[in-house]
Amino acid sequence: MKLLAGNSNRTLAEAMASHLDLPLTRAQVKRFSDNEIFVAIDENVRGEDVFVIQSTSYPANDNLMELLICIDALKRASARRITAVMPYFGYARQDRKTGGRTPISAKLVANLITRAGADRVLTMDLHSGQIQGFFDIPTDNLVSAPLMASDIKAQYQKTEDLLIVSPDVGGVVRALAVASRLNAELAIVDKRRSGPGKSEVANIIGDVEGRRLILFDDIVDSAGTLCNAAQSLIDAGAVEVSAYVTHGVLSGAAYERVQKSVLKELVITDSIEATTQVAGASKIRMVSCAALIGEAIRRIANEESVSKLFD
C-alpha cells in the first residue's frame, strides 16, 4: 500500500507513516499563480492500495479541492483502490436542513468525494453518525473514546469523583462511550441555541456539586458554547472543569476565550493541525490520533476488522 499526504496536516501524516513504517508517497501538491491546485504523483501507483490523508479543515474549500484532485490523479494513474483518510470531515455540521431553502452540505461533499473516484472513506468522530449513510461507498467512522479515556486515566490518578458531561443532549451517546470506559457517571448540559455559534445553558441534568467534571464533545469551534457550559457548571458547584474534544477547529479568537475561561484544561487531538497560537496556549494540550488512524489503515489494507479496535 501507499500513503499520499495533502497539505492540510503534514505532521499527522508523517506520524501515521512512522507508525506504519512506510514512507509517504512522493508527490507535488502545489498552487498555480492564480491559486489553482496542481497535483503530480511522482511514483508509480498502478495497482496499488492508496490512502490519501487530508483533513478538510481551514481553509476548508482549498483542502477539500486538494483532496478531490489527489483522488482524481490517483484514479487516472490506475490505483487499484483509493481510500480518503479524513481525520476531520469538514461540512459535517450541515447534515440536515435547518430551515427553508438551506443546503445539506455534508451530503454534497460526500457526493463529490465519491464521484471523484474514492473507493472508501476513513474518518474519525463524525458530527453525526448518519453521515456515513450519505456515502455510497464503505465508510469507517473511528471513535476517539478509547484514546481520550486512556489519557484521562493517565492524567487522573483517582477517577471515583469524576463526572463525564455531555455539553448538549445530542452528544449523550458520545459522552457515554467515555463514561462507560471509566466507570464514571454522566451529566448533561441542556443548552438552547440563539443563533449560529451562540448558545445559552438552560439547565444541568445531574448532580455536579463537589465533583471534578470532564466535558466531552466532538468539535470545538469558537469555544463560546464550551466556555459558557464550563462557567455554568462551576456556578452549580463543580470543583473543576476540564474538556476533552476530538476536533480542535478553534477559529478566530477561540484560543483566547479558552485561556480566559474557568476551564482547567482543553485536550484535543491532532486531527487538525494546530495554529501557532493554539500550540502556544497554556490551557490547550494535544494528544495524537496517529496510532489509532494508522492502525485502522493497516487493518483496511490487510482486510482485517476495524471495529475490533474498539472492543
Cell of 188: 448533561
- CA–CA dist 177, 173 (Å, integer): 6
What is the identity of the amino acid at 70? C
Q: Cα angle at 238 between 235 and 239, to 5 degrees?
A: 120
223 is in an annotated binding site: yes
Contact 43, 2 (CB under 8 A): yes
pLDDT of res. 230: 95
Residues 158, 191, 260, 308: which is the catalytic one?
Answer: 191
Q: Tell me, what's the pLDDT at 203? A: 85
191 part of the active site: yes
pLDDT recorded at residue 267: 98
Residue 159 and residue 222: Cα distance in Å, rounded? 29
Same fold? 2-142, 145-288 = yes
Q: Is 19 annotated as a binding residue?
A: no
Q: Is 200 annotated as a binding residue?
A: no
Q: How far is CA 227 from CA 156, 160, 223, 233, in A?
A: 21, 24, 6, 10
Would you write out the chain's pLDDT as a tens digit for each of its 311 residues?
999 999 999 999 999 999 999 999 999 999 999 999 999 999 999 999 999 999 999 999 999 999 999 999 999 999 999 999 999 999 999 999 989 999 999 999 999 999 999 999 999 999 999 999 999 999 999 999 999 999 999 999 787 889 999 988 889 999 999 999 999 999 999 876 666 555 666 689 999 999 999 999 999 999 998 999 999 999 999 999 999 999 999 998 999 999 999 999 999 999 999 999 999 999 999 999 999 999 999 999 999 999 988 87
Q: Please report where in the chains the cell 483517582 appears, as a residue.
A: 158
The verdict on whether residue 127 carries a ligand-binding annotation is: yes
Output the pTM of the full model: 0.94
Is 93 known as a binding-site position? yes
| Spatial contact of 274 and 286, defined as CB atoms under 8 Å apart | yes
How is the chain split into domains, by residue range? 2-142, 145-288
Report the pLDDT value the prediction gives residue 248, as an integer from 0 to 100.
97
CATH number of 145-288: 3.40.50.2020
For the stretch 204-234, pLDDT in tens is 999 999 999 999 999 999 999 899 999 999 9
The pLDDT of residue 112: 98
Whole-angstrom distance, CA of residue 108 vs CA of residue 294: 27
The CATH number corresponding to 2-142 among 3.30.830.10, 3.40.50.10490, 3.40.50.2020, 3.30.700.30 equals 3.40.50.2020
- Supply angle C-alpha 41, 86, 115, rounded to 5: 65
**302: exposed, middle or buried (C-beta count within 10 Å: 0-12, 13-18, 19+)?**
exposed
Question: According to the annotation, is 66 in a ligand binding site?
Answer: no
For residues 155 and 149, is the Cβ–Cβ distance under 8 A? no
Q: Is 251 annotated as a binding residue?
A: no
pLDDT of residue 202: 63
212 is in an annotated binding site: no
How many residues are present in the chain? 311
